[in-house]
Each structure stands twice: as C-alpha cells, then as structure tokens.
A and B are shown apart, each in its own frame.
Chain A
Amino acid sequence: MANLNNIIIQIIGGAGASLIIFFSTLIISLPLGLLITFPRMSKFKPLSAFFVFIISLLRGTPLMLQLIVWYYGPYYLFGWTLGLSWRVPAIIIGFSINYAAYFAEIFRSGIQSIPIGQYEAASVLGYNKSQTFCKIIFPQMVKRVIPPVTNEIITLVKDTSLAFVITYSEMFTVAKQIAAAKTTIIPLFVAGLFYYVFNYIVAFVMDKVEKSFNYYR
C-alpha cells in the first residue's frame, strides 16, 4: 500500500504540471481566440484570407507536431539554444495558439448565429459599432458558445498529456515512467482516474455556467 501512496504522490506532482498547462492555456487562448475572430471576420479580404489560412493550419495539423515545432523550432530556424527553460513557455504557447484557433472558429459561428435584426435594431437606436458588439452581440454570443467551448475544454484536459512529446513531466508522462520502472499498469489507471475526475469537475462547472445564462432565451 505504501507503494500505491508513493505512486499517487508522484502522479499528483505530474497533475500539477498538467494543471499549469490547462489553466495557462485557457487564460490565454480564450481572449486570444476572440482577438483573432475579428481579423478572421474582416471584410478586407486579404486579411480574413490570411487568418482563414492560419486557423486551418492550426486545426489541420496535429497539436503534437506543433508542440515540437515551438520547442525545437527556434534552434533549427535561428540557431537559438534556449535550453530547458524554454520548455514550459513553448508548451504554453503551442497549446494557447492551437486552442485559440479552435475558439476563434467557435466564436465566429456564435457571432454569425445572432440574427441580423439585432444589428438592425441597434443601428436604428443609434448604437455605434463597438457598443453594438460589446452590449448586444457579445453577451448573446457567450451564451451560444458555452456548449462547444465546454467540449474544447474537456478535450484540453486530455490534450495536456501531449506535452510528453517534448519530455515535459506532466501527469501522463510521470505515470508512464513509473509504470515502466515498476512494471505495473496501476499508475496508468491512477492517471486515468485523475483525468476523469478533472473532467467531471470541468463538466460540473460548465453546467453551472450554462445554467447561469438560462434567465433568457
């Protein structure tokens, strides 16, 4: 049993690293996603086309590959040796930019699902463009995007395990190492349980958030 405790303690250490990736990614990618929604929806074609391309690139290639590029890219492209201190920033940048691309598409479809009549009513009442967005469109968009954003967040929990490709000791990597060293599969079960509980909490919280918007239809 002491053995199991030991395993759990080590995995909790790895879980901390996973949580760092998770929260950093959320805090950066949600606003970043909103930020790139605007040029993505720009009426200036070259600008929107550029962002369409960037977003398709980010969504169309494996996150694992993108993490490798962010981590080793500076060395291969510019000859910079950033060392291990670059590992956490590379992971957070890679995750945040990748998830921002997904969130941007979710936000875009959310914004486009708002009836044109809302814009027309706002225009006739004299609201300017930023008032219309901030007061009328954005709040309604948030309500509409909660379900797809929840799906992405749940995927993110599981995706944190991808950080292993650049040998970052998040939870899954730790579990795998112990499993290999001690020739037992228990650590992997424990890690799986952690992911499950984590996502259970995410689903619970997002359900509360969704319900908090139920005061209107």
Chain B
Amino acid sequence: MSVFEIKNCKKSFNDIKVLDDISFKVDEGEVVSIIGSSGSGKTTLLRICTFLEFMDDGTLTYLDDSIVKSIDGKASYIGQKDLSLDALNKNKDLTRIKGYFGLVFQNFNLFPHWTVLKNVTDAPIYVQKRDKNEVIEKAFIYLKKMGLESKAYCYPCELSGGQQQRVAIARALCLEPKIIYFDEPTSALDPELTSEILKVIKELASEKRTMVIVTHEMSFARDVADRVIFMDNGVIVEEGNAYDLITNPKKDRTKKFLMKYDG
C-alpha cells in the first residue's frame, strides 16, 4: 500500500514555474531519495508534501485520505477555501493528516527555550493528546536510539549540531508518523557530524521506516535508498532503483549531474 502519493503537482512563484507535473508515490517501508542540483525544486516539493506550501494544481493523498484534488485545473484542499497558511493551521482535517508525517529540517528548527525532552514530547502530549507517561517512555527509547539519553534535560544550545539534528529526528519519531521527510539533513553539518546523522538514518532504514530523503550524499543514497528520484528544473528527469540509477544513469542530464560527484 502506498503511504503517500502526489500526482501532476504544479507550483509557480510569481509566474516562475518551480514544479512542473511532479508525480510519485512512496510505499510503506520504502526509502526514497531525491537528488538534484540546488534550485531544482526539491525543498519546495517537500514543503508541499508537509503543507508548508500550497500547490497550484495536482492531487495529494496520504493513505486513504485524499487531501488535495484537482478541480478545473486548480488544486482544491479539503475543507479549505482560503489558501493561506493561517487558515491552514485552523483546518482540523489537515491537522489530523499532519500526524501522518514528520519533517526534519536542514537547520533543525528545535525550540531553543525547551529542554531536549520537552522538544520531543510536547507535540505528542499536547497536539496528539497522548498519555503523558507513555510519551515520555517512548521519548527516552528514541533518545537512547539517538545516543542522547543523557542529554534529555539539556537545552539545544548546549548540544553540537549533530546532536541537535538527532534531537530533531527523535522529535519526528516520537509523533509515530507513517512517513518522515528529510530535507538535506546534513547540509548544515561538518563532515564528521554528517556521518553520525547518516548512520542514524541508515539504522531507521534498516527498521523499514518509510522515508523520503533529499540529499547530496550520493553514496548514501545509493546504499540506503530503495529508489532514487533525480529532479532538475522542477521536473523528475529520472527515477528508479537506487543502485542502478546512481551507478548507471540512463539520461544525459542525470549523467552530467552525477559526474560532479564522482571521485
């Protein structure tokens, strides 16, 4: 069963096309990597998937929930007439759907005034209204998995970038999402810290977590992802088995892009 599906997604900023007819789906337990040069629309695509941005046209579905339909060539969000982020945050349907996914940002976006533990547990308790003790127990399991058990009562400013990003991953995990999006999770980190994050994501992949990872780490995409999508200029140029696509790309544009990462 597919956890997520987007079809014919179009998006422009001030009449400049940023995404043109993007379609792909993610099956349960699948790890999909999105690669492509900067400006190709990867972030915009993830932002549309996580409702931080609206698409102009297309459809979007999480599990059985059809969230965006295409009506007369325009995207129609359920229960939503006014396409503004303010209105969106009041939309009960979308709030429920938000429980289906987590997003890990390039620059972490932890809440600096909260301890690590509160960062990880607050949304499950006060948004998902889950039992406090159950959530805290879960949080410690995930923090332990991230090697951060001892940092539960620290503030984000007391942690290294790599540790902060691991807190952000624990925060996403604690909501028990069906799918986790990563937008260049290592781009803000030193090479040393990069490998510690990649290791953690690899571990999540081995547990068959459904993930979509935007990355510039080609060998990581090749080894960890099941499928790779190569985007250029707002379109999907090539898509396929991760190993095959990265070691043996078919399209010229893909070859040219991957050449930059060789050796």
Contacts and interface: CB of A to CB of B under 8 A. Distances in A.
Interface of A: 43, 115, 117-118, 120-121, 123-129, 131-132, 135-136, 139-140, 143, 215-217
Given A117-B105, A131-B126, A216-B156, A123 B89 contact: yes
A104 B120 CA distance: 32
A143 B113 CA distance: 10
B102 interface: yes
B127 interface: yes
Contact of B105 (A43, A121, A127): A121
B128 interface: yes
Given A120-B105, A216-B113, A135 B122 contact: yes
A140 B89 contact: no
Contacts of A120: 52, 105, 109
A116 B126 CA distance: 22
Nearest to A115: B109
Interface in B151-173: 155-157, 171
B64 interface: no
Nearest to A216: B155
B98 A124 contact: yes
Interface string B107-127: 101111100000000110011
Contacts of A124: 50-52, 98, 101-103
A124 B217 CA distance: 25
B98 A128 contact: no
A134 B44 CA distance: 28
Given A129-B86, A129-B89, A129-B90, A216 B175 contact: no
Given A131-B126, A135-B122, A216-B155, A125 B98 contact: yes
Nearest to B99: A126
Contacts of A118: 109, 111
A123 B51 contact: yes
A124 B95 CA distance: 9
Nearest to B84: A43
24 contacts: A43-B86, A117-B107, A118-B111, A120-B52, A120-B105, A121-B105, A121-B109, A121-B111, A123-B88, A124-B50, A124-B51, A124-B101, A124-B103, A125-B123, A125-B127, A125-B171, A126-B98, A127-B126, A128-B90, A131-B126, A135-B126, A136-B111, A140-B113, A216-B113
Contacts of B95: 126, 128
B83 interface: no
Interface in B170-203: 171, 175
A135 B122 CA distance: 10
Contact of A216 (B52, B102, B123, B157): B157
A123 B156 CA distance: 20
From B110, B113, B126, B156, residue with most partner A Cβ within 10 Å: B113
Contacts of A143: 113
A124 B88 CA distance: 11
Interface string B125-139: 011100000000000
Contacts of B102: 124
Contacts of A126: 95, 98-99, 123, 127-128, 175
B90 A217 contact: no
Contacts of A125: 98, 123, 127, 171, 175
Contacts of B109: 115, 117-118, 120-121
B155 A215 contact: yes
Contacts of B98: 123-126
B85 interface: yes
A120 B183 CA distance: 13
Nearest to A217: B157
A140 B95 CA distance: 24
